[in-house]
């Protein structure tokens, strides 16, 4: 398994993964639709292309296939001199979810080679906070906040 920053050459295969995500992960799709967010491939393509140029998209590859993606943004903290990597999208194909921990660990190693000092993960509300809290605690994360969304 390889984890690395995505390049422009990865966009087509990466977008195919988003297509799979939008169909395979019905629970996630329904949650997003409930708050007025629907999958639009053209918008996703444009957004991911921008993030790839900014070097904030990581991909996980197994047997020459992209099986996972983490996309985020880099920002300066409002409160300190920390530079943050905020993951906004993190998804691994269901049959490869046993590699989620390794994916996070490898992204962490890449981030440590930069000036980024904080790694923030966002998760959709899956209703099982106990499980999420245990998993992220094992990876060295601490719970910070929850997000709430409403349409305007």
With respect to residue 146, please indicate whether it lies within any of the assigned structural domains: no
With respect to residue 129, please indicate whether it lies within any of the assigned structural domains: yes
Q: How far apart are CA 40 and CA 26, in angstroms?
A: 15
133 or 19, higher pLDDT: 133
With respect to residue 11, please indicate whether it lies within any of the assigned structural domains: yes
With respect to residue 83, please indicate whether it lies within any of the assigned structural domains: yes
With respect to residue 148, please indicate whether it lies within any of the assigned structural domains: no
Total number of domains constituting the chain? 1
With respect to residue 42, please indicate whether it lies within any of the assigned structural domains: yes
19-59 pLDDT, tens digit per residue, is 777 666 655 667 777 777 777 778 888 888 888 999 999 99
Q: What is the 3-state secondary structure (H, E, C) of 9-70?
A: HHHHHHHHHHHHHHHHCHHHHHHHHHCCCCCCHHHHHHHHHHHHHCCCEEEEEECCEEEEEE
Range of the domain at 66: 2-138
pTM equals: 0.82
Q: Residue 10 maps to which CATH number? A: 3.40.630.30
88-131 pLDDT, tens digit per residue, is 888 888 899 899 999 999 999 999 999 999 999 877 656 667 87
């Amino acid at each position: 398994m390889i984890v690395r920053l995505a390049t422009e050459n990865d966009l087509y295969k990466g977008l195919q993964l988003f297509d799979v995500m939008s169909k395979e992960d019905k629970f996630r799709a329904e949650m997003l639709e409930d708050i007025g967010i629907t999958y639009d491939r053209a918008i996703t393509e444009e957004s991911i292309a921008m993030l790839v140029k900014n070097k904030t998209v990581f991909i996980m590859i197994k047997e020459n296939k992209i099986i996972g993606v983490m996309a985020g943004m880099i920002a300066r903290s409002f409160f300190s001199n920390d530079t943050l990597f905020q993951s906004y999208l993190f998804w691994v194909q269901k049959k490869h979810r046993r590699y989620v921990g390794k994916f996070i660990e490898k992204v962490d190693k890449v981030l440590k080679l930069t000036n980024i000092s904080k790694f923030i993960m966002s998760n959709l509300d899956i209703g099982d906070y106990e499980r999420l809290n245990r998993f992220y605690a094992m990876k060295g994360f601490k719970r910070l906040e929850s997000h709430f969304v409403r349409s305007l």
